[in-house]
């Protein structure tokens, strides 16, 4: 609860007397009024605050409008850039697809050539192997014929020796 002028006066009157208390209060009041006059130009009034509020509301509204315009421009710019990026990406994908198809076709042709070369080389190897095998079989047949001839010769010699020995034994026995 604030202290009033009268209460201050009454308290001072008891301590310093009636006249000095009045002089002191007048001095304080005069001093306060002078200080207020000095500083009233610095202090804001309700009208100043109202004018400031109105000015701020106008500036805020202008900022809102400018921000909305900036956002709209930015959105439009971004949409254009996104569409350009989309088109560029589609083109890049199509170019990549075409290049990939070409690479696959070239690879397929390369592989077909290499497969055909491998087939030809394999056929040649098989033919060489057949020829070598036929030569080996012919050589074996010749060797078998030689062994057979040698065997017949040795058999003839063995049987001739056996017949000669049998005749000699029989000649000895009949004697």
Backbone phi, then psi, for 43, in 5-degree steps?
A: -75, 145
CA–CA dist 154, 76 (Å, integer): 113
- Residue 135 pLDDT > 90, yes or no? yes
Residue 1: pLDDT over 70:
no
What are the tens digits of pLDDT across the range 156-169? 999 998 999 899 99
- Report pLDDT for 58: 93
- For residue 120, name the pLDDT band (cuts at 50, 70, 90): very high
d(CA 73, CA 42) in angstroms, rounded, equals 43
Mean pLDDT of 90-118: 95
Q: What is the pTM of this model?
A: 0.40
Mean pLDDT rounded to a whole number for the chain? 89
Q: Cα(156)–Cα(130) distance, rounded to whole angstroms?
A: 38
Q: At what angle do helices 18-39 and 5-16 cross, to 10 degrees?
A: 140
Confidence of residue 79 (pLDDT cuts 50, 70, 90): very high
């Amino acid at each position: 609860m604030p202290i009033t002028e009268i209460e201050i006066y009454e308290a001072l009157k008891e301590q310093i007397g009636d006249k000095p208390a009045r002089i002191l209060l007048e001095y304080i009041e005069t001093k306060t009024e002078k200080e207020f006059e000095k500083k009233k130009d610095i202090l804001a009034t309700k009208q100043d605050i109202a004018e400031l509020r109105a000015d701020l509301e106008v500036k805020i509204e202008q900022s809102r409008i400018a921000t909305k315009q900036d956002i709209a421009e930015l959105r439009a710019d971004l949409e254009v850039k996104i569409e350009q990026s989309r088109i560029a990406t589609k083109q890049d994908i199509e170019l990549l697809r075409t290049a990939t198809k070409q690479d696959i076709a070239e690879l397929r042709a390369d592989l077909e050539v290499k497969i055909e070369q491998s087939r030809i080389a394999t056929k040649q190897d098989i033919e060489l192997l057949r020829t070598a095998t036929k030569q080996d079989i012919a050589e074996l047949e010749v060797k078998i014929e030689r062994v057979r001839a040698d065997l017949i010769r040795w058999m003839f010699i063995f049987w001739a020796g056996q017949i000669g020995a049998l005749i000699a034994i029989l000649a000895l026995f009949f004697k």
